[in-house]
Amino acid sequence: IQDLLKTEIPVFGICLGHQMLALALGGRTAKMHQGHHGANHPVKDHTTGKVEIVSMNHGFAVDADSLPEGVEETHVSLFDGSNCGIALTGRP
């Protein structure tokens, strides 16, 4: 993943892929007190301000406070405020 991030190829990660991207970028993950399981989880998209309803099934989350410079939080759970999306600034 780190080698791929050195290229200009756009990268998109979902669930575990999202967590692995965060780790490859220098962020951390943490075990959630209570994981997200099943459908109908409201997630806010910070880039549009819209709320999306998604299906989730995970017990770990990216620690948004650990994200390095150049990586921003783009999506957050409205249930518990946990990170649900990241993006590299200035990259496709």
Contacts of 21 (CB under 8 A, 6+ apart): 1, 5, 11, 13, 86
Confidence at residue 75, expressed as pLDDT on a 0 to 100 scale:
97
The answer to whether the CB of 65 falls within 8 A of the CB of 78 is no
**CA 92 remoteness from chain centre:** 16
Overall domain count for the chain: 1
Reading the chain (92 residues) residue by residue, the pLDDT tens digits are: 999 999 999 999 999 999 999 999 999 999 999 999 988 999 999 999 999 999 999 999 999 999 999 999 999 999 999 999 999 998 87
Please report the pLDDT score of residue 39 as a whole number.
82
Whichever domain contains 42, its CATH number is: 3.40.50.880
- The range of the structural domain enclosing residue 63 comes to 2-88
Q: Cα dihedral sign for 38, 50, 66, 14?
A: positive
Rounded to two decimals, what is the model's pTM?
0.91
Cα separation, 39 vs 44, whole angstroms:
15
* pLDDT of 32: 96
